[in-house]
Chain A
Amino acid sequence: MKITLKVWRQAEGEAQGSMETYQLDSVAEEMSFLEMLDMLNEQLTAQDIEPVAFDSDCREGICGMCGIVINGSPHGRYESPVPTTTCQLHMRNFHDGDVVEIEPWRAGAFPVIKDLVVDRTALDRIVAAGGYISVNTGSAPEAHSTPAPKLQADRAFDAATCIGCGACVAACPNGSGMLFTSAKVTHLANLPQGQPERRRRVKAMIAAHDANGFGGCQNIGECASVCPKQIPLESIAQLNRDLIASLFRADGKSA
């Protein structure tokens, strides 16, 4: 099939960017979206035009490295029957003659590095602030010493499947990272091992979230609708409950 691509080109973070139009003539429906971009880059290289920079690594939908806004939607949510990452979107969802617009994640906390590549290290800083259980290597008790109810363990797991791609931030009109933050809070809050630091964790993570340029959450829900791992909006409710509770309970540590 023939596909017309309109691609955001931006030489570097400070440079002025623009949409450039490219034509691909023999896209096969078995190809993944990123293989289609590989094909574009081979074509551009042959024409001595610098290839389009975009991030991808595992191409199995699990590492969270890829992320492109496709026709206005992070990961091209609307072209795919199920929520997916960009790398798992396949060309069978497109049609001959389609015009496809491709842009980077756009959010205050994610400065553009080049073309479709953005800097998402702010997400790491939120985790570094408290998204963990403080247990040094070697000090762990026997795994079966603390049973965890299956229902809650499953809930923890559902939240822990977040891949940190940042689509939620890109989708949010406020550029909020609340779904990402709440996924980690929910993961650890549902496990017995996560209880001792539960209140301190949520305060510290929210403080880091706000300090790193993410916007506030207004419960719009765009985030959950594009999440390739279907992290539910209720995670944010869990975060808010924990946050409010933490404000009324002394835990011996300030955020």
Chain B
Amino acid sequence: MAATVKNSKTTTEAPVQASTTDPALGYYTPGTDIHDTKAPAGPIDKKWAQRQFTAKLVNPANRRKLTVIVVGTGLAGGAAAATLGEAGYNVLNFCYQDSPRRAHSIAAQGGINAAKNYRNDNDSVYRLFYDTVKGGDYRARETNVYRLAEVSPNIIDQCVAQGVPFAREYGGLLDTRSFGGVQVQRTFYARGQTGQQLLIGAYQALERQVNAGTVTMHTRHEMVELIVHDNRARGIVTRDMVSGKVESWYADAVVLATGGYGNVFFLSTNAMGCNVTATWRAHRKGAYFANPCFTQIHPTCIPVHGETQSKLTLMSESLRNDGRIWVPKKAEDCTKDPRQIPEADRDYYLERIYPAFGNLVPRDIASRQAKNMCDEGRGVGPLVTEVTQDGTKQQRRRGVYLDFSDAIERLGRKAVSDKYGNLFDMYEQITGENPYETPMRIYPAVHYTMGGLWVDYDLESSIPGLYVCGEANFSDHGANRLGASALMQGLADGYFVLPNTINDYLAAGPFEKVDDNTPEAAEALASASERINRLLDIKGSRSVDSFHKELGSIMWEYCGMERTEEGLQIAIKKIRALRESYWKDVKVTGVNEDFNQALERAGRVADFMELAELMCVDALHRRESCGGHFRRESQTEDGEALRHDDEYAYVAAWEFTGDGQKPILHKEPLEYEFIELKQRSYK
């Protein structure tokens, strides 16, 4: 049986035994355990209703006296701002783009999961909950995930009512399709542009509130500092990206919905502007950063073309419904025209290793297997020169085929085009190759970050009054996110969870007035300006981008798809040296009082430099493999991720203690009350 064919890694080398002393201890200080105190006791399917009942309310007449700052206008931020505006709060909404409609949620292609069971295929809220916990390799908090699954059907209802044009059947009802890691068809979609359509729905709801005067929109404003007064988040400092004006905004609560930090790798599927600054600044002010090393490498992206590459483009996971992934069985076939390679000489490796899920295994597994095939020398596409961890140079082909010829034969070219037309067009636009004629070439790329600011059941961080939604928090996806679940989480948080939980906090408001004379506010404003001036004054010799690229290559090599104890320590050393050099030698042209994109990037890269180290420390301390975090020292005989539940069934929440100081590790033990912890199997 094909499934018994072993991964090459295990046949060529035995798993390395983890050493007995933990070298990570040199990089952090163990702290006290933390717990979520907000999820009520009781059966899991009653918790959310119970929490909604126990949460304090704010009288509609009092809401307009309360101000809420929302940073970000993607699915989570846009939905939250619109919903809080509808409720009658005074909302200040910020984004760095020129319009709220451009947030990077817009680029999500494949779809959104919801437990509607329209397919009559045994789907349920409980199954979506189970699939998400399992897909996340048992490193997510049960209570949050159950609630996510529970509100998922409401999202579809809400979006349809807003006019989101989901794909429909001829009977006029909604169509669904399959996605990775599950065996039901629960993914709603709008061709390959689901994120765009959902975001435009949220954007329209938001603009309606702008028109109604409940939401004030500040575009081209970047949050550069958080204001904490009397142990509460009370405002933010922004830089106006057109005029350079640095100013403070005050509120009774602050919501961060600022997305993920994948751009720490320089090359990722994130938008150019995606950054960690908002959440990192909050982290430095006391918000714990949870599981920063949990990053998702997406298996189906267009391979890197060369040194000048600025970003990577995803080809939707939905393509794995009909496309078959393969590499040549023989290394000497790798340079041949794929169409000339006979069926018998192709290795459909995912179908071979994972017969039950085939091409639809979760992302972490599909990505690692693509890497393994290329490491074996069976990759396709141009040769790329790489520097390995021991410093030697090697040449590898970094690509695998995603082939639609079977689907085109079975369904016809038109049917394939109806489903994936825009993706095929995009592929051709970028590569100059026609995927109807020749197989696509794909390779894994950084896509999503499961880690983020730690939040409790109410989505409140460790700073009272600071709430975190969407990709910016750590809450729902554990160590690996399933496809079509990011859109679900963003909208669940923004439309249904946060607007209900934040009342409980705001009921105690309005809080004591703060203004520019409040010491913490004055300090935040001054330190933000000081940091900008410091960057401008360095006047070094290297561009911001060149530093960012170097940081990215360190992270990809040592903290990417496969991590080792030794490599991570090398990475930390390299990051520290690079950071030091950055603050001495970066060249930022222009002045602050201007539209200055070099300065914008300089601030973001400075924060990535700090985050990168924490990611490596987190990866180093977690001496197990789980989901997207694969430690070479911890794998099964078949080369799959091997968890150590006895030691690592916890959320790692990191506390900032000062520049150059060791962070403190707080563990939130994960208690699995309803789902039994198992070794994941997709065979």
List A residues 94-150 near B (Cβ within 8 Å): 113-114, 117, 119-121, 123-124, 127-144, 146-150
What is the minimal beta-carbon distance from A41 to any residue of chain B, in angstroms?
A: 8
- Residue pair B98, A55 in contact (C-beta under 8 Å): yes
Contacts of B185 in A (CB 8 A): none
- Residue pair B308, A144 in contact (C-beta under 8 Å): no
Contact of A46 among B104, B197, B543 (CB under 8 A): B543
Known A35-B310, A92-B432, A187-B165: A59·B219 in contact at CB below 8 Å: no
B156-174 interface mask toward A, CB cutoff 8 Å, 1 = contact, 0 = none?
Answer: 1110111101111111111
- Residue pair A30, B107 in contact (C-beta under 8 Å): no
- Residue pair B205, A90 in contact (C-beta under 8 Å): no
Nearest opposing residue in chain B for A148, CB measure: B172
> Does B666 lie at the interface of the complex (its beta carbon under 8 Å from any beta carbon of A)?
no
Contacts of A213 in B (CB 8 A): none
List B residues 90-148 near A (Cβ within 8 Å): 97-104, 106-107, 116, 118
- Residue pair A38, B196 in contact (C-beta under 8 Å): no
A62 to B101, CA, bound (A): 10
- Residue pair B271, A57 in contact (C-beta under 8 Å): yes
- Residue pair B104, A57 in contact (C-beta under 8 Å): yes
Contacts of A61 in B (CB 8 A): 426, 429
Nearest opposing residue in chain B for A37, CB measure: B310
Contact of A147 among B100, B171, B193, B217 (CB under 8 A): B171
Contacts of A233 in B (CB 8 A): none
A117 to B101, CA, bound (A): 17
Q: Which of B230-238, B339-347, B408-416, B587-595 is the contact stretch?
A: B587-595
Nearest opposing residue in chain A for B104, CB measure: A58
Known A30-B306, A51-B597: A147·B173 in contact at CB below 8 Å: yes
A124 to B99, CA, bound (A): 7
- Interchain pairs with CB closer than 8 A, number: 213
Contact of A137 among B104, B191, B425, B499 (CB under 8 A): B499
- Residue pair A128, B193 in contact (C-beta under 8 Å): no
Contact of B196 among A51, A141, A161, A191 (CB under 8 A): A161
Contacts of B521 in A (CB 8 A): none
What is the minimal beta-carbon distance from A181 to any residue of chain B, in angstroms?
A: 14
B542-567 interface mask toward A, CB cutoff 8 Å, 1 = contact, 0 = none?
Answer: 01011000000000000000000000
Q: Which of B79-87, B474-482, B529-537, B647-655 is the contact stretch?
A: B79-87
List A residues 35-65 near B (Cβ within 8 Å): 35, 38-39, 42, 45-46, 48-51, 53, 55-65
> Does B261 lie at the interface of the complex (its beta carbon under 8 Å from any beta carbon of A)?
no
Contacts of B82 in A (CB 8 A): 137
What is the minimal beta-carbon distance from A147 to any residue of chain B, in angstroms?
A: 3
Q: Which of B30-38, B207-215, B289-297, B363-371 is the contact stretch?
A: B207-215
Known A38-B310, A62-B107: A193·B161 in contact at CB below 8 Å: yes
Contacts of B273 in A (CB 8 A): 57
Contact of B106 among A62, A82, A143 (CB under 8 A): A62
Nearest opposing residue in chain A for B196, CB measure: A62
A161 to B549, CA, bound (A): 33
> Does A255 lie at the interface of the complex (its beta carbon under 8 Å from any beta carbon of B)?
no
A160 to B203, CA, bound (A): 13
- Residue pair A157, B106 in contact (C-beta under 8 Å): no
> Does B401 lie at the interface of the complex (its beta carbon under 8 Å from any beta carbon of A)?
no
B654-665 interface mask toward A, CB cutoff 8 Å, 1 = contact, 0 = none?
Answer: 000000000000
What is the minimal beta-carbon distance from B288 to any residue of chain A, in angstroms?
A: 29
What is the minimal beta-carbon distance from A214 to any residue of chain B, in angstroms?
A: 16
List B residues 563-611 near A (Cβ within 8 Å): 587, 589-590, 594-595, 597-598
Contacts of A49 in B (CB 8 A): 589
- Residue pair A129, B165 in contact (C-beta under 8 Å): no
List A residues 9-27 near B (Cβ within 8 Å): 12
A191 to B165, CA, bound (A): 8
- Residue pair A60, B595 in contact (C-beta under 8 Å): no
What is the minimal beta-carbon distance from B448 to any residue of chain A, in angstroms?
A: 15
Contacts of A146 in B (CB 8 A): 160
Contact of B426 among A88, A113, A130 (CB under 8 A): A88
> Does B154 lie at the interface of the complex (its beta carbon under 8 Å from any beta carbon of A)?
yes
What is the minimal beta-carbon distance from A186 to any residue of chain B, in angstroms?
A: 11
> Does A182 lie at the interface of the complex (its beta carbon under 8 Å from any beta carbon of B)?
no
> Does B190 lie at the interface of the complex (its beta carbon under 8 Å from any beta carbon of A)?
yes
> Does A31 lie at the interface of the complex (its beta carbon under 8 Å from any beta carbon of B)?
yes
- Residue pair A160, B197 in contact (C-beta under 8 Å): yes
- Residue pair B174, A144 in contact (C-beta under 8 Å): yes
- Residue pair B100, A124 in contact (C-beta under 8 Å): yes
A123 to B432, CA, bound (A): 33
Nearest opposing residue in chain A for B212, CB measure: A128
A103 to B432, CA, bound (A): 26
Contact of A84 among B98, B204, B309, B429 (CB under 8 A): B429
A34 to B430, CA, bound (A): 12
A31 to B173, CA, bound (A): 42
What is the minimal beta-carbon distance from B117 to any residue of chain A, in angstroms?
A: 12
Contact count band on A: 35 or more
Nearest opposing residue in chain A for B98, CB measure: A120
Known A56-B272, A63-B104: A137·B496 in contact at CB below 8 Å: yes
Nearest opposing residue in chain A for B219, CB measure: A121
Contacts of B589 in A (CB 8 A): 45, 48-51
- Residue pair A82, B118 in contact (C-beta under 8 Å): no
> Does B326 lie at the interface of the complex (its beta carbon under 8 Å from any beta carbon of A)?
no
- Residue pair B496, A114 in contact (C-beta under 8 Å): no
A87 to B358, CA, bound (A): 34
- Residue pair A53, B104 in contact (C-beta under 8 Å): no
A143 to B79, CA, bound (A): 18
Nearest opposing residue in chain A for B597, CB measure: A53
- Residue pair B598, A128 in contact (C-beta under 8 Å): no
> Does B453 lie at the interface of the complex (its beta carbon under 8 Å from any beta carbon of A)?
no
What is the minimal beta-carbon distance from A248 to any residue of chain B, in angstroms?
A: 25
Nearest opposing residue in chain B for A43, CB measure: B543
Known A60-B107, A131-B207: A160·B165 in contact at CB below 8 Å: yes
Contacts of A164 in B (CB 8 A): 99, 101
- Residue pair A161, B193 in contact (C-beta under 8 Å): yes
- Residue pair B98, A144 in contact (C-beta under 8 Å): no
A56 to B272, CA, bound (A): 7
A150 to B191, CA, bound (A): 13
- Residue pair B203, A45 in contact (C-beta under 8 Å): no
Known A35-B309, A58-B104, A143-B157: A45·B598 in contact at CB below 8 Å: yes
- Residue pair B165, A132 in contact (C-beta under 8 Å): no
A88 to B495, CA, bound (A): 33
Contacts of B171 in A (CB 8 A): 147
> Does A235 lie at the interface of the complex (its beta carbon under 8 Å from any beta carbon of B)?
no
Most buried by B among A55, A132, A194: A132
What is the minimal beta-carbon distance from B14 to any residue of chain A, in angstroms?
A: 41
Known A58-B271, A129-B211, A148-B172: A65·B165 in contact at CB below 8 Å: no
- Residue pair A117, B595 in contact (C-beta under 8 Å): yes
Most buried by B among A137, A144, A153, A191: A137
> Does A170 lie at the interface of the complex (its beta carbon under 8 Å from any beta carbon of B)?
no
- Residue pair B168, A148 in contact (C-beta under 8 Å): yes
Contacts of A245 in B (CB 8 A): none
Minimum-distance CB pairs A-B, first 10 = A147-B172, A132-B204, A140-B161, A157-B165, A30-B305, A128-B207, A140-B157, A57-B271, A114-B595, A128-B211
29 residue pairs of the A-B complex, CB under 8 angstroms, read A28-B306, A30-B306, A31-B305, A38-B545, A42-B546, A45-B587, A50-B590, A53-B595, A58-B272, A60-B313, A61-B426, A62-B196, A64-B102, A80-B429, A88-B430, A113-B242, A137-B79, A138-B158, A139-B161, A142-B157, A143-B157, A144-B118, A150-B169, A150-B170, A157-B190, A157-B197, A160-B197, A191-B163, A193-B161
B→A interface (CB under 8 Å): 79, 82-83, 86, 97-104, 106-107, 116, 118, 153-154, 156-158, 160-163, 165-174, 190-191, 193, 195-197, 200, 203-205, 207-208, 210-211, 217, 219, 242, 271-273, 305-306, 308-311, 313-314, 425-426, 429-430, 432, 495-496, 499, 543, 545-546, 587, 589-590, 594-595, 597-598
Given A127-B203, A138-B495, A150-B172, 8 other A-B residues pairs in contact with their CB atoms under 8 A:
A48-B589, A51-B589, A60-B107, A60-B426, A113-B595, A128-B208, A132-B205, A161-B196
